[in-house]
Amino acid sequence: MKDKVTKYIEQFKNSTQHLDPADEQLKKLDIDFVRKLSRIIEMHPGIKNGQAKYIAEKALPIAGCFDMNAEEKVDILYAGLLMQIGKITLPDRLLTKPFYSMSTVDKYRYLGHAVEGEALLHGLAQFEGAATLIRHQYERYDGQGFPDGLSKDNIPLGSRILSVVSDYITYLDGSMTGKVMYADGALSQLMIRKESYYDPDIVDIFVNVLKGASAEELKAAFAKSKLLAVATERWRKGLVLNSRKATVRPSSTIVEIALPQLKLDMRVDSIYFGSELYIRNCIVDQSIIDNVTELQKSSGQNPIIKICLNAK
């Protein structure tokens, strides 16, 4: 299979090297080449049929929420369709063995297909962007990934997107954990690995993609979440500096209240907007009430307010 793929790539390279990269004919040849190559790859034993198409289709709506140009989105499309190309260099025993049951040596050998995939596309200028995304598909948001240990925004955005969608599939089919899951279970795996494995923004957008949100709804939800995060962080820092600390007694009872019930001099355990901490362990003053009210209006989210009731 590797010989067949490399031969096809070489034939394509030779037949298109005389064409201008801006030529519309070349662009059509590119997508035809990628689609055919993707189908060839999925003929290899142990590579799941239809997975590449699913990854590409789900990745593009996520990409649409970010400030990406058309070329960058095409890179994501191509990388999604060709993410598994490096697997043709692996022995069949690794392709038919669940990742969770591999030895440490085999796991590193398996992950190495990302680097092999990049190498197979070497020399095709129009696929350099996609090749880079393929290389970094196993990086982790916390910097503990493969092959280069990149973290956060140092990981190409396209790779961060593809990682979330691809891993969602592996949670569904059980190849990652050894347990087949329904959609809710697979999503919970993504959620608990936000900030460690995955970009939290991308996980949140992907959840909405699976709910069938339109492009406009995805962008609106993402913009609102970013506004909320920035505003919360700004106000939280200001309040931490200026608010009075509350002494919480061991016998305190924590209760949740609605915003209209929040009054001056109450002892706050915590105030959250969604998963974002606004402030904790303070005495309520007017600035807290005003800012929480304003943030509720601007974000459209109701705060989760927990106060301390000290036992007699």
The structural domains of the chain, ordered by start, are 2-213 (1.10.3210.10), 229-309 (no CATH)
Q: Minimal CA–CA distance to 127: which of 162, 161, 170, 77? A: 77
Is cis: bond before 61, omega within 30 of 0?
no
Spell 23-45 as b/e; 16+ CB within 10 A means b.
Answer: eeeeeebbeebbeebbeebbebe
Reported as a pLDDT band with limits 50, 70 and 90, residue 175 is confident
Q: Does the pLDDT at position 109 exceed 80?
A: yes
Q: Which segment of 101-110, 115-124, 214-223 scores lowest on mean pLDDT? A: 214-223
How far is Cα 130 from Cα 134, in angstroms, rounded to an integer? 6
Work out the average pLDDT over 224-236: 61
> Which strand (E) or helix (H) includes residue 215?
helix 215-242
- CB count in 10 Å sphere of residue 67: 6
End-to-end CA distance of the chain: 76
Beta bridge partners of 244: 283
Place of tokens 């600035």: 287
175: left (phi over 0), alpha (psi -120 to 50) or beta: alpha
Describe the strand order of the beta sheet including 244-245 as a list of residue ranges. Answer: 244-245, 276-283, 267-273, 304-309, 253-257
Length of the chain: 312
Reported as a pLDDT band with limits 50, 70 and 90, residue 148 is very high
Q: Does the pLDDT at position 242 exceed 60?
A: no
Q: Does the pLDDT at position 103 exceed 60?
A: yes
Q: Could you tell me which residues come within 8 angstroms of residue 254 by beta carbon, excluding any fewer than 6 positions away? A: 269, 306, 307, 308, 309
Work out the average pLDDT over 178-188: 91
pTM above 0.95, yes or no: no
Q: Which segment of 4-18, 124-138, 278-292 scores lowest on mean pLDDT? A: 4-18
Q: What is the pLDDT of residue 213?
A: 87
Q: What is the pLDDT of residue 276?
A: 72
In terms of pLDDT, which residue wins out, 299 or 106?
Answer: 106
Q: Does the pLDDT at position 311 exceed 50?
A: no
Q: What is the pLDDT of residue 234?
A: 55
Question: Residue 85 in contact with residue 120, Cβ under 8 Å?
Answer: yes
174: left (phi over 0), alpha (psi -120 to 50) or beta: left
Question: Residue 254 in contact with residue 307, Cβ under 8 Å?
Answer: yes
Work out the average pLDDT over 55-74: 93
The long-range contacts involving 102-111, CB below 8 angstroms and separated by at least 24 positions, are 108/146, 111/138, 111/146, 111/147
Q: What is the pLDDT of residue 216?
A: 86
Q: Minimal CA–CA distance to 252: which of 270, 274, 225, 226? A: 270
CA 150 to chain centre: 14
Mean pLDDT of the chain: 85
Q: What is the pLDDT of residue 241?
A: 43
